[in-house]
Structure 1
Amino acid sequence: MANDNVELMRGEPEIAVRKLAIPIMISMLLTASYNIVDGIWVAGLGQAAIAGIGFVTPIFMIINGFSIGLGNGATSSISRAVGARNHERANKSATHAILIFLAASIIMSCVLLLLLEPLLKTYGASGQSLAEGIKYGTPLFIGLFAFMFSNGGSGILRGEGDMKRAMYAIIVSVVLNFVLDPLFIYVLNLGSAGASLATIMSALGSAIVIMYWILIKKDTYVHVTFKDFEFDSKIVMDILKVGIPASLDMLMMSIAMSLYLVFISSIAGEYGIAAFTSGQRLYLFAIMPLTSIGSAVAAVSGSAFGARNGDYLDRTHIYGTKFAMLLGVALMLILVIFAPQLALLFAYTPETAVLVPEITNFLRIASFGLLLVGIGMPSSFMYQGIGRGTTSLAWTIIREVIFTVSFTYLFGIVFNWGLTGIWTGLAVGRMIASILNFIYARTTIKRLKEQF
């Protein structure tokens, strides 16, 4: 099976992107259902709990971002070794990646536990929403290793093109989350902390399954062993040169989201935060299929780059862009047309019913960004695939921090359009940056083809 996956990555790029994207898409949609399920159950706890979790969201993006980013670093390093037909290098990349996951999880847990309360206060959390945020965030930070090995291990599997088993592991975690959420939140009466614990235990289940395949069953293409292990700084740097910028991608988005929260809180307080948090869950859920296409593009681009095949790299990017753009339009239409019905998922109690109009407003405005986000997403992942993580990071900063933050402030604060201005800024900023990203990606590929 592993060899079939490897040969798929070395074959026709359009077929590879399509076949690899589907299981990643299912995996990411299932992963995103964590937040959806949590949101549905937490909605029964009231507006303060929704807002408290909303304040934790940017920090959770850092947690998830570092684990996904380091996993992307492993994907890039392994896929380039696969393209170059260097099996030994792929094995060493996977082994070093696991040690990096372990070290990073310990460091990040300690740092984030110390910063939890100060960060929440910086975002504007106070009173009951602050208490709920601490209850939700503390278990997440303690259990960071579960996310690190789940997302990082998936990155190793993606590097060798084994997307199906990564999907199977996610199915295990989603089933666990579905069962544990109501149990921990209501039966054991743990409230927001219960939602957090359910997510951690579910991620741990996924991590255990993946590590079993890699370390115990040993039926993957990469062979991980710590016997006679020799530290190789070049391999570590090869993983980190993509992994760290990819991790910082999520940090930059978290910083941007922190600024959105400050803007929103100044305009509409806890009400605005709760509406944004609920609508954002659905937006992020819609982004997942586009991200899955990007992940497939990263793996296939890495293989093409390792083989120094400029034509395959070009075709991979073009096909991934078309695929993501068509899907983005379809997802945008769903969110816009069914906005009132979708809003009810997070505002079904008498206390939260007042949020329905603003969640609907968010979905019908911010979702228009999906029209063009699809042409930027594969470009950013292509940079990661070819080992240019800093380029991907630069475009994240341009999109989220420079363009989107500027437009949300301009429309929401300067023009005094209120929450509608914030939602408009989210769409406009992301669309403009995505167009520019695509143009730069095409220029980059043209130069690489000339070099090859």
Structure 2
Amino acid sequence: MANENVELMRGEPEIAIRKLAIPIMISMLLTASYNIVDGIWVAGLGQAAIAGIGFVTPIFMILNGFSVGLGNGATSSISRAVGARNHEGASKSATHSLLIFLVASILLTLIFLIIQEPLLIAYGASGQSLAEGIKYGTPLFMGLFAFMFANGGSGILRGEGDMKRAMYAIIVSVILNFILDPIFIYVLNLGSAGASLATIMSSIGSAIVIMYWILIKKDTYVDVTFKGFKFESHIARDILKVGIPSSLDMLMMSIAMSFYLIFISSVGGEYGIAAFTSGQRLYLFGIMPLTAVGSAVAAVSGSSYGANNWEYLSRTHTYGTKFAMIIAIAILLILVIFAPQLSMIFAYTPETAPLIPEITNFLRIASFGLLLVGIGMPSSFMYQGIGRGTTSLIWTIIRELIFTVSFTYIFGIILNWGLTGIWVGLAIGRILASILNFIYAKYTLKKLKTIMN
């Protein structure tokens, strides 16, 4: 199976993207269901709990972003070695990746536990929403190792094209989360903390499954062993040159999210935060299929770049963009047409029912940002695939911190359009930045043509 995955990565890029993207898509939709399921159960705890968890969201994005980012670093390093037919190099990259995951999880756990309360207060959390945020956040930060090895381990599997087993591990965690959420939240009466504990226990299950395949069953393409292990700094640098910028992608988006929360809180208070938090869950769920296509593009781009095949690299980007655009249009139609019905998922109690109009408003405006994110996202993932993580990071900064934050402030605060203005700013900022990102990606490919041919 491992060799079949590797040959798929080295074959026709259009076929590879389709076959790799579908299991990644299923995996990411299932992963996004964590937030959906948490949101459904937490909605029964009231508006303060919803807002408290909303304030934790940007911090959790940083936490989860480091695990996903380092996993992307592993994917890029391993896939380039696969393309270059360097089995030993791919195995060394996987081994060094696991060591990096361990060190990072220890350091980041300590940092997040220290900074969580000051950050929540800075975002505008106070009183009951602050208490709920701390109850939800503390277990998440203590369980960072679970996310690190689950997401990072998935990155190792993606690097060798083994998307199906990465999907199977996610299925295990989603089933566990579905079972544990109501038990921890209501049966054990743990409230908000129960939602995060269920997520952590589910991630531990996923990490155990992946580590079993890699370290015990040893039926992966990469051969991970710590016997006679020798640290090689150039391999660690190769992983981190994509892993760190990719991790900082989430940090930049979290900083942008902090601005959004401040703007929303100033014009809509706890009501606005609760509406945004609920709508954002659906938006993030909708963006997952696009991220899946991007992840497939990253793996196939890395293999094409490692094989020094410019034609395959260009075809990978072109097809990935078309594929993502088709999916983006379908998702946009669903979110816009069924916005009222989808809003009721998170506002089914008498206390939260007043949120439905604003969640609907958010979905019918902000979701238009997805339309052009479909051409920007494959471009960013292509940069990661060829080892240019910093370029991907720069475009995240341009999209979220420069364009989107600016437009949300202009429409929501300066023009005094309130919450509607902020939703408009989210859409316009992401659309304009994605167009520019696509243009730059084509320019990058044109320059690479002279180098690779």
Quick check: TM above 0.5? yes
Using the alignment, how far apart are the partners of 1:63 and 1:296 within structure 2? 23
Using the alignment, how far apart are the partners of 2:204 and 2:222 within structure 1? 22
**2:212 aligns to what?**
212
Amino acid at match of 1:243: G
Q: Taking every aligned residue pair, what percent have the same amino acid on both sides?
A: 83
Using the alignment, how far apart are the partners of 1:326 and 1:393 within structure 2? 25
4+ residue runs over 4 A deviation: none
In the superposition, the TM-score normalised over structure 1's length comes to 1.00
Using the alignment, how far apart are the partners of 1:70 and 1:223 within structure 2? 19
**2:364 aligns to what?**
364
Amino acid at match of 1:297: V
Alignment of 1:62-141 (within 5 A): 62-141=62-141
Using the alignment, how far apart are the partners of 1:42 and 1:313 within structure 2? 44
- The reply to whether residue 326 of structure 1 matches residue 343 of structure 2 is no
Amino acid at match of 2:421: G
Relative to structure 2, which stretch is displaced further, 384-393 or 440-449? 440-449
Q: Cα offset for 1:102?
A: 0.3
Q: Cα offset for 1:377?
A: 0.4
**1:385 aligns to what?**
385
Using the alignment, how far apart are the partners of 2:268 and 2:408 within structure 1? 14
Q: Cα offset for 1:95?
A: 0.1
Alignment of 1:147-226 (within 5 A): 147-226=147-226
- The reply to whether residue 253 of structure 1 matches residue 253 of structure 2 is yes
Q: Cα offset for 1:59?
A: 0.3
Using the alignment, how far apart are the partners of 2:231 and 2:372 within structure 1? 43
Secondary structure of the structure 1 residue equivalent to 2:300: helix
Query: 1:144-196: CA deviations, max 9, x gaps?
Result: 00000000000000000000000000000000000000000000000000000
Secondary structure of the structure 2 residue equivalent to 1:240: helix
Using the alignment, how far apart are the partners of 1:446 and 1:37 within structure 2? 44
Query: 1:338-393: CA deviations, max 9, x gaps?
Result: 00000000000000001000000000000011111100000000000000000000
Amino acid at match of 2:310: G
- The reply to whether residue 289 of structure 1 matches residue 304 of structure 2 is no
Using the alignment, how far apart are the partners of 2:165 and 2:380 within structure 1? 25
**1:341 aligns to what?**
341
Using the alignment, how far apart are the partners of 1:108 and 1:259 within structure 2? 23
Structure 1 gaps of 5+ residues are none
Amino acid at match of 2:315: R
- The reply to whether residue 445 of structure 1 matches residue 445 of structure 2 is yes
Using the alignment, how far apart are the partners of 1:227 and 1:451 within structure 2? 39
Using the alignment, how far apart are the partners of 1:171 and 1:364 within structure 2? 30
Query: 1:9-48: CA deviations, max 9, x gaps?
Result: 0000000000000000000000000000000000000000
Using the alignment, how far apart are the partners of 2:66 and 2:100 within structure 1? 11
**2:304 aligns to what?**
304
**1:20 aligns to what?**
20
Amino acid at match of 1:217: K
Query: 1:264-318: CA deviations, max 9, x gaps?
Result: 0000110000000000000000000000000000000000000010000000000
Using the alignment, how far apart are the partners of 1:136 and 1:278 within structure 2? 16
Secondary structure of the structure 1 residue equivalent to 2:204: helix
Using the alignment, how far apart are the partners of 1:106 and 1:236 within structure 2? 17
Secondary structure of the structure 2 residue equivalent to 1:227: coil
Q: Cα offset for 1:68?
A: 0.2
**1:374 aligns to what?**
374
Structure 2 gaps of 5+ residues are none
**2:48 aligns to what?**
48
Amino acid at match of 1:423: W
Using the alignment, how far apart are the partners of 1:115 and 1:371 within structure 2? 35
Q: Cα offset for 1:449?
A: 1.3
Q: Cα offset for 1:124?
A: 0.1
In the superposition, the TM-score normalised over structure 2's length comes to 1.00
Using the alignment, how far apart are the partners of 2:370 and 2:171 within structure 1? 26
**1:59 aligns to what?**
59
Q: Cα offset for 1:74?
A: 0.1
**1:410 aligns to what?**
410
Paired positions, count? 452
Query: 1:372-420: CA deviations, max 9, x gaps?
Result: 1100000000000000000000000000000000000000000000000
Secondary structure of the structure 1 residue equivalent to 2:62: helix
**1:229 aligns to what?**
229
Alignment of 1:31-46 (within 5 A): 31-46=31-46
Aligned CA-pair RMSD = 0.3
